[in-house]
Chain A
């Protein structure tokens, strides 16, 4: 049976290990939004150089959520947020998860087997947010804490915000090696031969012959 968790950030390893794929999660506290290839490349550069990031992500939640952020009268403002496709960052995420010691990551669409392994080792889970949930997700936004890397366009910046009840998100990958993306894709691929074999007999019209 899937459970619902209200997680206060930062989360402990124990809390993360208690999550199982399919569970529903709401987040309360500080998250860092990072979307964009350039953002990920820069995080890797910092890690390689042993340089601290402008925001401390050790044990934190770094999500593939992009936002429209701007500065008004010296104050940071985020107008709206939404998840982006995480698989674009497959090559970077294993290093980032273990290098930063992330407890939570997420976005939409999942991450590949390399990240699943890294998440099992580090004690980290992946949350699937609703693509197209911008209006509702934005309502959870309570405070902008910092906007870094403002040389990049809005949605590539490293933005730290405080959220209340950000969700619902589905645990797509848990810290025990469970991944809905892997299991569902594997099941789909296993079903395809039967699905294809079923298409022919359903056809009442004769297939056209080769000319």
Chain B
């Protein structure tokens, strides 16, 4: 057996469609908790409407948001997996097929940054990050995280030299304030500290995609996440930025060792927190994780 072109094509396309029509279970719980805790009446009303919107979209098999974003995948490969066919091509073909068949159809969001022309196709699209799973696993784990304009445009990265935690946390707050009302809060904030320019961005994105409630194994970061969540919710932007105590649902921070120059990357997901995940096993089984 093997992970084949057909399987890869089908599963990556399905993950994209699911992410548009269903918000993750942990996100439903977080929104329901926020609805109870929200003290601002406008904010509470907005949260109620968000919950209704998500459940209606899921029930009726429609998009939660019309900005279906651009396809972004993380593929982690177990070293015992064998491949059959052009796996890289499978993801591109899967997206092309989906664009032709999905109901309702997708708007054209793939943009050529040089000409601003839009369509369903473009250079390096879908965007895929390939990685290996630790150990000797017999599956490929695929995460789909389509990125839309609302939250996509507020990500930022700055490189510091031997920054203190004060400096790092101030920078994170400096990134949250301009995103404020515009990135469709309550947000999920992902932070990557250290490594290199590219690596900090990657681990920030992975942090953002971490399910809620998983404990950060690094005690310094576990505390930082809790501290920053309180700090962000003290800003008062609230749901959709029209006021309230719910500006973020979660803050997740990853780190990597680096040199004394320390990149800090900050990225956001909007309240619908698009994130789907599946595993394709070497024997052809497909397991939908979320």
Contact = CB atoms under 8 A, between A and B. Distances in A.
Interface of A: 2, 22, 24, 66-68, 79-82, 84-85, 87, 108-110, 128, 130-136, 138, 153-155, 168, 170, 172, 180-181, 184-185, 187-189, 191-192, 195-196, 198-200, 202-205, 207-208, 210-211
Chain B: interface residue count, which band?
35 or more
Contact of B66 (A22, A68, A187): A68
Interface string B45-59: 110011011101100
Contact of A82 (B52, B60, B66, B223): B66
A185 B182 CA distance: 11
- Residue picked from A66, A155, A188, A211, most chain B C-beta under 10 Å: A188
Interface string B199-239: 00000000000000000000110010001101100111110
A180 B238 CA distance: 11
B241 interface: yes
Given A135-B60, A154-B107, A195-B173, 7 more contacts: A79-B104, A131-B270, A134-B66, A135-B57, A191-B234, A195-B231, A210-B162
11 contacts: A2-B41, A80-B66, A110-B241, A128-B240, A133-B50, A170-B240, A185-B180, A191-B234, A196-B169, A196-B231, A205-B220
Interface residue SS majority, chain A = mixed
Nearest to A172: B242
Interface string B126-141: 0000000000000000
A93 to B, nearest CB: 15
Contacts, number: 172
Contacts of B177: 185, 188-189, 192
Contact of A2 (B42, B227, B231): B42
List of 8 A-B pairs having minimum Cβ-Cβ separation, nearest first = A82-B66, A109-B182, A188-B235, A131-B184, A135-B57, A132-B65, A135-B62, A207-B165
A180 B149 CA distance: 22
B243 interface: yes
A115 B63 CA distance: 31
Contact of A130 (B41, B46, B182): B46
